[in-house]
Chain A
Amino acid sequence: MRERRYIAERGLATSLYLALKLGRPLFLEGEAGVGKTEVAKILAALLDTDLIRLQCYEGLDVHHAVYEWNYTRQMMHIRLLEARGERTNEAELFGEEFLLRRPLLQAIEQSRQKPPVLLIDEIDRSDEEFEAFLLEVLSDFQITIPEIGTIKTQNPPVVIITSNRTREVHDALKRRCLYYWIDYPSFEKELEIVQTQLPQAPMQLARQITGFIQALREMDLYKLPGVAETLDWTTALVTLDQQALDPVIVDETLGAVLKYQDDIEKVQGQQARLILERVKAEAG
């Protein structure tokens, strides 16, 4: 995984390995911005296979998750036949050429050749109805389309499910999966992530930024910064050609790290200066 520039904990690697071996979905939970979605992308690259992503939202239904008929084409087809004076054949009208394949169907169809990685992103945003449906699909990896028949696969796709915990996902679904909680990384891990992702960042800057973010995570903030924020901030400062952090630039760019006004007010100024001094002292 390191080759693909993803720094994984040993526990996560074990979970992934077992998910592959046991053919079970992996359920990843963690705060926003700790790299849950990234895991699926890297895994697809590692296995040299496709990544099929299903972004969840409330009201997600079969028509958007599994399949839909292409009604416009169907109607055109009817008109065309009419013009030629032929009668409409229903079986023909609901044939494969009028089928729009959505992520779940794609994943199952493709699995017949080479199982792809199926990423079901932010399941907590969907609703109970979709969860129940997903449970059914994940248990036997088959989908029934009334007009065509049942489509199934012997080698199921590799399934990664992520959740930000904005809602408790039902136990039944979690029970079917391997579970892993992605925590914020340690200082060393995070520094490594910054260095692999943004090699152009000066060493001193990278150390200071990582130290600063780690200090913020110990503070009493409404929304703690994730790894994504660390990388955003580093990118911003590299773009501004900064070699090191100073109080002024921290105050000016804090918006890249903290996303709530309350939090920014709390840190800006005095507090930021204190953290900065400590970070600099530690970095030597």
Chain B
Amino acid sequence: MRSAFSCTGMHGAKKQLRGFRAFAVQISGRRVRGAKLNGALLHNLLLFGRVLRKLGLDINPGRMMDLISALDHIEIGRKSDFFYSARTLLVHEREDLPLFDEAFELFWRKPAESWNVEWQGLSRRRKRPGPIITPPALKEEAPQTNGSKSTSSQVMTVIEVTRTYSDRELLRHKNFAEMNAEETEAVKQLMLHLLWQVSERRTRRLRPGKGQRIDLRRTLRRSLRSEGEIFRWSYREPKRKPRPLIVIADISGSMERYTRLLLQFIYGMKAALSQPVEAFLFSTRLTRITRPLQIRDLDLALENVGQLVNDWAGGTRIGESLKIFNFEWGRRVLGRGAVVLMISDGWDRGDPELLKREMARLKQNCHRLIWLNPLLGAPNYEPLTRGIQAALPHIDDFLPVHNLASLEDLASRLAELK
């Protein structure tokens, strides 16, 4: 039994041990019932928890305690039982299952030398942002922020002081693609102050109010004051909630000039809205970036997005990316009257028939489908590309997204949607 679980990878990770030794003491202090637990196994178990946490899994001391007490109930010599127990207790996202399986395999079976190497490969594959062991280098095309936070706040004060009203007006209408670094920075700051709001829908939850439904509970309660005589009926009305928002943005080569500011725009929107906002990027494949966008710090969030996406400025396959969205995510994030924002210039190199079909499917499953096109800002632009032609019949709104003014328009339109 001991040989099956003794971890030879410990030498390489001795440093990590130090940090959570306190936790081990805490556990033994609490008199864990795990009589079968010898010191070495406990250490390995805790180390394993550490490893999983570093991989980005949501592991906390409570979970580890659960696992230790679970060992009381299973035959620990039987590897598959131990494996399934650890899995059911420590993982609670389907996406994390393969990662856990590999980590388990590596941790409990491989000798030390290969452990470190494969381990790094594993850490690169992790899906969600978290403490990083070997951060991969940022891609060149990834959004990079000019300077640190202190300079950006300096810039902001400069803008506030020097920019006059007309300057700001000019900036509002300037095309994102034609901006220099200073203007980009200024717009970035102005973007943070946009007021985002998406219209509400009636949910099926009722609350006391002036609706159509009689509230018998309150009616009866009130009638008791008058010896059970009902003088006034109480009513209930549907509760209202803002609609969920889904953003699917094109980051292919032709969109490159806009990508950086659009990402900030998506980030700002997610930060400002209280309802669920899901965000996806695509050029040749689809990447969900909802999780990194939750990070509070803008620069850090964008850096994490940069690491996650590996087809920056690639080709465009709108139809295929949408298909992946519809098949894998549609059922999970659409619904509840969601509003979908599709951001793309419509230069599609894929099959227009496929795009048409998937647009139709998307339209069927959401409340409102809005296509934002940066090219629409140009006065002489006509939507003639095959991609746009295929998609147009299924779009509710076709709007420009090339300058600050267009974003403001979008904001007011979202707030007024039915």
Contacts and interface: CB of A to CB of B under 8 A. Distances in A.
Given A22-B70, A222-B326, A71 B217 contact: yes
Contacts of A252: none
A78 to B, nearest CB: 4
29 contacts: A10-B84, A11-B87, A14-B84, A14-B88, A18-B74, A21-B73, A27-B92, A58-B204, A61-B205, A63-B217, A78-B223, A78-B227, A82-B228, A88-B227, A88-B228, A93-B224, A165-B331, A165-B332, A166-B332, A167-B332, A167-B335, A167-B336, A168-B276, A168-B332, A175-B92, A179-B88, A179-B92, A222-B327, A262-B357
B100 to A, nearest CB: 11
B334 to A, nearest CB: 9
Interface string B182-223: 000000000000000000000111100000000011001001
B296 interface: no
Nearest to A168: B332
Given A61-B206, A168-B332, 20 more contacts: A11-B84, A18-B89, A27-B92, A57-B204, A58-B205, A59-B206, A63-B217, A71-B217, A74-B220, A75-B228, A82-B227, A88-B228, A129-B205, A165-B94, A166-B332, A171-B92, A175-B63, A178-B88, A179-B91, A222-B327
A179 B80 CA distance: 16
Contacts of A129: 205
A50 interface: no
A15 B227 contact: no
B81 interface: yes
Contacts of B69: 22
Interface size class of B (residues with CB under 8 A): 35 or more
B332 A18 contact: no
Interface string A155-186: 00000000001111001001101111100000
Contact of A90 (B89, B203, B224): B224
A251 interface: no
A29 interface: yes
Nearest to A60: B205
A10 B327 CA distance: 29
Nearest to B230: A75
Question: Top 8 A-B pairs ranked by shortest CB distance?
Answer: A59-B204, A78-B228, A14-B84, A59-B205, A179-B92, A174-B92, A15-B88, A21-B73
A181 B97 contact: yes
Interface in B45-95: 58, 60, 63, 66, 69-70, 73-74, 80-81, 84-85, 87-89, 91-94
B394 to A, nearest CB: 15
Interface in B210-260: 216-217, 220, 223-224, 227-228
Contacts of A69: 217, 220
Contacts of B336: 58, 167
B326 A171 contact: no
A70 to B, nearest CB: 10
A18 B206 CA distance: 38
A88 B88 CA distance: 54
Interface in A28-76: 29, 57-59, 61, 63, 68-69, 71, 74-75
A198 to B, nearest CB: 29
A88 B60 CA distance: 54
Contacts of A165: 94, 331-332
A29 B91 CA distance: 12
A202 to B, nearest CB: 35
Contacts of B58: 171, 175
Interface in B142-198: none
Contacts of A222: 326-327, 361
B279 to A, nearest CB: 14
Interface of B: 58, 60, 63, 66, 69-70, 73-74, 80-81, 84-85, 87-89, 91-94, 97, 203-206, 216-217, 220, 223-224, 227-228, 276, 326-327, 331-333, 335-336, 357, 361
A15 B220 CA distance: 47
Highest count of chain B CB atoms <10 Å: which of A22, A63, A68: A22
Contacts of B84: 10-11, 14-15
Contact of A22 (B73, B93, B327, B335): B73
A21 B70 contact: yes
Contacts of A58: 203-205, 336
Given A22-B70, A93-B224, A178-B88, A166 B335 contact: yes
Among A74, A79, A167, A175, residue most surrounded by chain B Cβ atoms (within 10 Å): A167
A108 B88 CA distance: 25
A177 B92 contact: yes
Contacts of B227: 78, 82, 87-88
B228 A18 contact: no
Contacts of A21: 70, 73
Nearest to A179: B92
Contacts of A262: 357
Contact of B205 (A18, A127, A177): A127
B105 to A, nearest CB: 15
A73 to B, nearest CB: 11
B88 to A, nearest CB: 4
Contacts of B326: 222
Q: Identify the interface centre among A11, A18, A69, A79: most chain B CB within 10 Å of its CB.
A: A18
Contact of A18 (B88, B91, B216, B361): B88
A17 B91 CA distance: 17
A17 B70 CA distance: 10
B281 to A, nearest CB: 19
Contacts of A18: 70, 73-74, 85, 88-89
Contacts of B205: 58-59, 61, 127, 129
Contacts of A78: 223, 227-228
Given A22-B70, A78-B228, A180 B88 contact: yes
A165 B331 CA distance: 8
A175 B62 CA distance: 10
Nearest to B357: A262
Contacts of A27: 92
A59 B88 contact: no
